Structure 1
């Protein structure tokens, strides 16, 4: 039925990486595809996507991080444990083929900062990509991930209203 199984990477300094992945999820829902989104560095039920998830058919969003600042230079052991648990959940979804689309939100930065072993993730994705469409988001996608991807979009900031003092807005920025 579905011609899924590619690896897409959305990275760069610009806004819109998670939003682009959610756009694909919206299209997938329109075609009856099952989507699972694992948000690695988020645990806030007030994020717009977390509140909207209930309205999108066949869409499951799980926040597998915590609602706290992550020190990427010296991550708290709880953050490392949560990232590992989220990655194990992602692997299970791919091994058991229980989703048509798997969004790994903020996985790029998790890999770039060494919160998960890059080689382990790359080896696993090489082995299991092919049935489930996989999208990774986040700044700093490592070259090794880019190399195995089928599509890479690098979103670059040209201008941002935050620099004018505009705060994060509900429904627009989160």
Structure 2
């Protein structure tokens, strides 16, 4: 007779923190999408990024649309945390303000930044294709040296507004390396075009939001 915890994760042992050493995932390669009008899409994606990096996997995040706003400081808490985490890196392809908002930003500038951001996404996917993703990667290496997990934050928002061609995003999914875990976030409108190619789609739905009562973004929760 088998032990009662034999088939459970960790075999019933209490999890403990360990030293982070370069490692490689056994089952990466899926496409995940987080969309909806609720808070927490980026937070969930970054949480997965930290979890993966904690296992010694190489993670990179490319953010679209988030270039700053008058309501937040010029340093986000997640950037400081990512910088302190081995194996996790980020870059920002956003522009000040938000597309379609009366915040002093120009929509043409958002379009230009989104174009450049998506070209960078293609470069990162190609970089991942050039390495063996079943092997450990240098935790301090540049993203050009490959990654096991790529987070494209707010790319769905950009695609829904056609700042990024939705068909090109689908093509990126279809042509990514088999072992690259690809995580997409953003947008309030249902991205029907992604459903065939995505393995996991999560709809983050708003029930109540403090912003509706005039609450500004708070340091430590929204940025």
TM-score, with structure 2 as normaliser: 0.72
Structure 1 residue aligned with 2:195: 146
Ranked by relative contact order (alpha carbons within 8 Å, sequence separation 6 or more), the top structure is: 1
Q: Which residue among 32, 35, 58 is the counterpart of 1:8?
A: 32
Instruction: State the distance in 1 between where 2:88 and 2:182 align.
Output: 14
Instruction: State the distance in 2 between where 1:164 and 1:83 align.
Output: 31
> Which structure's CA Rg is the greater one?
2
**Secondary structure, in 3 states, of the residue corresponding to 2:195?**
helix
Q: CA RMSD in A?
A: 1.6
Structure 1 residue aligned with 2:83: 54
Instruction: State the distance in 1 between where 2:201 and 2:221 align.
Output: 24
What residue ranges of structure 2 are gaps of 5+ in the alignment?
1-23, 69-73, 129-145
Change (3 A) 1:129 1:110: farther
Task: Report the CA distance between 1:129 and its aligned residue.
Answer: 4.8
Q: Which residue among 43, 51, 73 is the counterpart of 1:27?
A: 51
**Secondary structure, in 3 states, of the residue corresponding to 1:169?**
coil
Q: How do 1:87-106 and structure 2 match up within 5 A?
A: 87-97=118-128, 98-106=146-154
Change (3 A) 1:94 1:49: same
Q: Which moved more, 1:17-26 or 1:63-72?
A: 63-72
**Secondary structure, in 3 states, of the residue corresponding to 1:148?**
coil
Task: Report the CA distance between 1:159 and its aligned residue.
Answer: 1.4
Change (3 A) 1:158 1:79: same
Task: Report the CA distance between 1:141 and its aligned residue.
Answer: 4.5
Q: Does 1:69 align with 2:117?
A: no
Q: Can you list the C-alpha shifts for 1:127-169, whole angstroms capped at 9, x where unaligned?
A: 2152211111112242011221000110101112223333210
Instruction: State the distance in 2 between where 1:65 and 1:165 align.
Output: 25
Structure 2 residue aligned with 1:125: 173
**Secondary structure, in 3 states, of the residue corresponding to 1:94?**
helix
Between Structure 1 and Structure 2, how many residues are aligned?
Answer: 172
From the two aligned structures, give the one with the greater helix fraction: 1
